[in-house]
Amino acid sequence: MTLLAIPFPVIDPVLLSLGPIQIHWYAIAYIVGILLAWFYTKRLANKASLWPKETSPMSAIALDDFVLWATLGIILGGRLGYVLFYNLDAYLANPSQIFAVWNGGMAFHGGFLGVTLAMILFAYKRSVPILSMFDLVAMAAPIGLLFGRIANFINSELWGRTTDMPWGIIFPNGGPEPRHPSQLYEAALEGLLMFILLRILSHSTLALKKPGTVAGTFAILYGIFRSLIELVRVPDVQLGYLSFGTTMGMWLSAPMVLAGILMILYAQRKSSGSVNS
């Protein structure tokens, strides 16, 4: 089995060291993901024909302002989610480590809730149509997921179970046996594939004209893809497997799928009501 394994590439998690200052690939991934998502949402918002009543839901200036809100939602929500959902006891014993985000430890579901709250507050303050804003951000979210999962791979974290598949990788901190590169699976499904599917949905079916449809689809796809990956991904050691062999990632993804279904049903019903009226 080891003969078929792929050795882990020699990649230092620290991109650059400037004296006591270290720049990690993990941080670069977040920065690049946010910047590309910002650029993409501005292009989408600028294409009025995609949106209800041929009107963009957000101006370029509003999107520029929202970047800070979104960044805070991602970082604060992601970190708080990891602390609460995955490792609360350890952080209560050593509270200073809560702020050491450069060591990893971000939870997507926490970041998702953080950005959702940021969107709700921003939409209320700027009188932005909330469902269309959800759709706009959902379109760009796979970009951040793609870069974030690649960063997880570089950090040699969140790897999968042992495997005899020829693409199994021997991670430096995962023991001598090859393992599923589950981070790359997630990058492919949650990042690349979901980006393509949402792009087709928005541009080929004009789903953005039914506010909430794209955001609901994003929630459903993420929940399904994440749950599938959890079948080969090793759960956090401090949690292990939960009831019936499930994982925390599965439990946190289930409400997303349900919320996505409800959002799509609401979007379709509201759209039908608008047409009939």
What tokens were used for 172?
């430096």
Distance in angstroms (rounded) separating the CA atoms of residues 62 and 147: 25
- Smallest CA-to-CA distance from 136 within 41, 72, 260 is with 41
Positive/negative CA dihedral, 79, 189, 240, 26: negative
- The per-residue DSSP string of 204-219 comes to HS-GGGSTTHHHHHHH
* Amino acid letter, 243: S
Classify residue 266 as exposed, middle or buried by CB count within 10 Å of its CB (0-12, 13-18, 19+): middle
**Residues ≥6 apart with Cβ < 8 Å to 258:** none
Please, are residues 155 and 25 in contact by the beta-carbon 8 Å criterion? yes
Nearest CA-CA partner of 70 in 22, 13, 136: 136
Count Cβ atoms below 10 Å from residue 228 Cβ, excluding itself: 15
149 annotated as belonging to a binding site for a ligand? yes
Closest CA to 101 of 17, 12, 8, 22: 22
Is the separation of the CB atoms in 139 and 41 below 8 Å?
yes
Cα 153-86-96 angle, rounded to 5 deg: 90
User: Which residues sit in the known binding site?
Assistant: 149
